[in-house]
Amino acid sequence: MSIGVFDSGVGGLSVHRALVRKLPAADFIYLGDQANAPYGGKSGEEIVELTKAGCVRLFDEGASLIVLACNTASAIALRRLQQTWLPGYRKSLSRPVNVLGIIVPTIEAATGLPWEHESERRGDKVEKVDILAVFATRATVASRVYEIEIDKRRQDVAVFSEACPGLAQMIEDGAGAVDLAKTIDAHVKAITTRIGRPPDRAILGCTHYELVADIFRATLPRGCPIIHQPAATADAVERYLERHPEYDPGTGGARRFLTTGEPGAQNALVEAFWGGPVTFEAA
Burial (CB < 10 A; 0-12, 13-18, 19+), residue 243, is exposed
Contact flag: residue 108 with ligand DGL (CB under 6 A): no
Contact flag: residue 32 with ligand DGL (CB under 6 A): no
Among candidate residues 55, 70, 164, 224, the one labeled active-site is 70
Contact flag: residue 2 with ligand DGL (CB under 6 A): no
DSSP lists the bridge partners of residue 227 as 203
Mark 50-89 with x for binding to ligand DGL (rule: CB under 6 A) and - for no binding: --------------------xxx-----------------
Contact flag: residue 28 with ligand DGL (CB under 6 A): no
Contact flag: residue 14 with ligand DGL (CB under 6 A): no
> Could you please report the per-residue DSSP string of 241-282?
HHH-TTS---SS--EEEEESS--EEPPHHHHHHHTS--EEEE
Shortest spacing between CB 259 and ligand DGL, in angstroms: 13
Among candidate residues 55, 164, 206, 224, the one labeled active-site is 206
CA atoms within 13 A on the CB side of 232: 25
Residues sharing a CB contact under 8 Å with residue 233, sequence separation 6 or more, in sequence order: 15, 18, 19, 67, 69, 102, 105, 106
Active site annotation includes 224: no
Shortest spacing between CB 260 and ligand DGL, in angstroms: 13
Contact flag: residue 168 with ligand DGL (CB under 6 A): yes
Shortest spacing between CB 239 and ligand DGL, in angstroms: 22
DSSP-based three-state secondary structure for 188: helix
CA distance 143 to 78: 13
Specify the stretch interacting with ligand DGL by CB under 6 A; choose among 34-42, 144-152, 173-181, 268-276.
Answer: 34-42
Among 48, 208, 230, 266, binds ligand DGL (CB under 6 A): 208
DSSP-based three-state secondary structure for 105: helix
Nearer to ligand DGL, 132 or 145 (CB): 145
Among 6, 28, 30, 39, binds ligand DGL (CB under 6 A): 39
Contact flag: residue 7 with ligand DGL (CB under 6 A): yes
Nearer to ligand DGL, 39 or 146 (CB): 39
Task: Please tell me the chain's helix, strand, coil percentages from 3-state DSSP, rounded to the nearest 5.
Answer: 45, 20, 35
Contact 232, 100 (CB under 8 A): no
Specify the stretch interacting with ligand DGL by CB under 6 A; choose among 17-25, 204-212, 234-242, 274-282.
Answer: 204-212
Count of positions on this chain that bind ligand DGL (CB under 6 A): 17
Contact 207, 216 (CB under 8 A): no
Active site annotation includes 164: no
Shortest CA distance to 44 belongs to which of 9, 81, 15?
Answer: 81
Phi/psi for 100 (5° steps) reads -115, 155
Shortest spacing between CB 163 and ligand DGL, in angstroms: 10
Q: Which residues bind ligand DGL (CB under 6 A)?
A: 7-9, 11, 37-40, 70-72, 137, 140, 168, 206-208
